[in-house]
Amino acid sequence: MAFSLPSLPYDYAALEPHVDATTMNIHHTKHHQTYVNNLNAALDKFPELKSVGIVDLNKAVNTDKIPADIKTVVRNNGGGHYNHSFFWKIMTNPSNTNGPMGDLKAAIEADFGSVDEMKTKFNAAAAGRFGSGWAWLGVDEAGKLHIESTPNQDNPLMSHLPDTKPLFPVLGLDVWEHAYYLKYQNRRPEYIAAFWNVVNWEQAAENFKAGKEHKVLLDGAPAPKM
């Protein structure tokens, strides 16, 4: 079955004034749709892969499970599809964001010292990513939180990546210029700071809970296994 563009859980203007409606519309209907289209086109050549979920497809990147002639396309566009599907859900209307609570807050304080220190390190990872990429907060198999930055459309599910630790994503921020340039131009740190005003901490808590159980949420439920 072909992959499809997921609907947003809010309207395009819901993240204003921190993320503008025009950027959200273009980002969702143009950029994300292109990743979906390119991924489907690549998998048309190998229809047996169409039954593999997007999470396991990302985990299989750079393994012999993905044929050599579509490895790069799947890495870039399968990564883009997963990353953006994750990204839309980790944001919410500013009126709905109240900061981390419960087990996630306790884990952040245990692993980073404070929520503010976690944000500082996350911001540094996002700002320090040269060119296009992502910043991530994720949990490892031992239940410990880490911050990573990945290039392009790579993500922590792709365990082959150099200088990174395989993680179950909890938070992710897109720092490609198309995510912020209309509003923030070259002021990436300003965009990064604004992100904290739209974080869906309830979703982050669910991601953290699933990650501690070595699961990855997909549309609110654990992703099916390959």
Residue ranges for the binding site for Mn(2+)? Answer: 27, 84, 174, 178
The Cα–Cα gap between 64 and 47 comes to 16
Of all helices (H) and strands (E), which one includes residue 134? Answer: strand 133-139
Determine contact, residues 144/104, Cβ cutoff 8 Å: no
Q: How far apart are CA 177 and CA 203, in angstroms?
A: 25
Which residue, among 113, 107, 134, has the nearest Cα to 192 in the 3D structure? 134
DSSP 3-state of 203: helix
Binding-site annotation: residue ranges: 27, 84, 174, 178
Provide CB contacts within 8 A for 60, sequence distance 6+.
Answer: 52, 66, 226
d(CA 27, CA 183): 13
- Whole-angstrom distance, CA of residue 173 vs CA of residue 88: 10
Q: Could you give the CA distance from residue 24 to residue 106 in angstroms, rounded to a whole number?
A: 32
